[in-house]
Amino acid sequence: MKITTVLNDYSGKQFSEFKKDLSDLLIENIEPIRDELIRLDNDHSFLLDILEKGTNEAMKRSSLNMKKIRDIVGLGY
């Protein structure tokens, strides 16, 4: 929404009306994020799965990097 539109819509109105509408809009937009965070916080198996996948990917990448480093410094085994 453009600032000029907001200014025109609330011209001559009480600031409290603007604040209420703004807070309602913020709640409407933030509530889905809050709900998703609560869902994720309650889904421990999903979080553990994400952590496990991240750990496996990190180990894979670090293993490849360590192999390259060992080859470069002559410690390839």
How many domains is the chain partitioned into structurally? 1
Q: Which domain holds residue 11?
A: 3-73
How far apart are the C-alpha atoms of 39 and 49, rounded to whole Å? 15
Do residues 2 and 9 touch, judged by C-beta distance below 8 A?
no
Instruction: Extract the tokens encoding 31.
Output: 């509530």
Residue 2 DSSP symbol: -
Do residues 10 and 17 touch, judged by C-beta distance below 8 A?
yes
- pTM of the shown model: 0.54
Do residues 17 and 9 touch, judged by C-beta distance below 8 A?
no
pLDDT by residue for the chain (77 residues), tens digit each? 789 998 889 999 999 999 999 999 999 999 999 999 999 999 999 999 999 999 999 999 999 999 999 999 988 66
